[in-house]
Amino acid sequence: MLKKTIIIPCFNEIKTIEKVINRVKNYINQADNIVVVDDCSTDGTTQLLKNIENSNRYSGLKLYFHNENLGKGSAIKTALRSNTINDIIIIQDADLEYNPRDYSKLMLPFDETDADVVYGSRFLGGSNYVRIHFFWHYIANKILTFLCNMFSNLNLTDMETGYKAFRKSALADINLKEKSFGIEPEITLKFAKKKLKFYEVSVSYQGRSYEEGKKIGIKDAFVAIYCIFKYGFFN
């Protein structure tokens, strides 16, 4: 059985982070582990995670803390440097927009095919539920996915998904550089250039409003476009 490492980059998620850890624990095996990276939160998340660490109430949980806010990409890279990384890596956002119940879907291509990379798509169809809102986010996502597909020669439906799973071996000879949300197109394009085998599965999605804590915005869309052209043409 393939062992999983769940990476949870975290910034200012005091309302959800422990709920996410608990929910993840319900859907992983004893041999799997969780790596949480706190990106210098300012809302009490850091102290909550340190209390969790000191309590030792979660087995298989590794915590890292940034001394300054560096971005999602930096948090993921910190986690990937951990010496506890298993065969399959799943990136899990800390905001409860994605349901760990879908891990079984993400793992199916790894178990039944020679998949290297599996993305959980909000737009593929067949999910249990998808919260409907933010028309312009949907349009921006479609544009970013189209541009990424154009440079990668893939036909993804959801490049910007928060559910990305891949084999540890897929990272060989890849140097991830982006510190922010630009890591999403960067990792996609670098995997594609290695001719890795991509699969998509449908996942449920409970998107948040900005009042509920959503963080990604228009600036991140322009960063993503820049990164698509940057890594589409260069490494």
Per-residue pLDDT for 133 more than 80? no
Task: Provide the pLDDT for residue 208.
Answer: 65
Task: Provide the pLDDT for residue 213.
Answer: 61
Q: Which amino acid is at 172?
A: A
Q: What mean pLDDT comes out for the span 28-34?
A: 96
Q: 187, exposed or middle or buried, with CB in 10 Å at 0-12, 13-18, 19+?
A: buried
Contact 72, 181 (CB under 8 A): yes
- Tens digit of pLDDT for each residue in 186-222? 999 999 999 999 999 999 998 766 666 666 778 888 9
What whole-number distance in Å separates Cα of residue 103 and Cα of residue 29?
11
**How many Å from the N-terminal Cα to the C-terminal Cα in the chain?**
34
Domain ranges of the chain: 4-233
- Tens digit of pLDDT for each residue in 36-86? 999 999 999 999 999 999 998 899 999 999 999 999 999 999 999 999 999
Long-range interactions of 171-174: CB distance < 8 A, separation 24+? 171/80, 171/89
Contact 38, 70 (CB under 8 A): no
Task: Provide the pLDDT for residue 212.
Answer: 65
Per-state percent for the chain, helix, strand, coil, to nearest 5? 40, 15, 45
Per CATH, the number for 4-233 is 3.90.550.10
Q: What mean pLDDT comes out for the span 112-117?
A: 98
**By C-alpha distance, which of 219, 178, 163 is closest to 24?**
163
Q: Which residues of 112-149 are buried (b: 16+ CB within 10 A; e: fewer)?
A: eeebbbbbbbbbbeebeeeeeeeeebeebbeebbebbb
**By C-alpha distance, which of 28, 23, 88, 17 is closest to 60?**
28
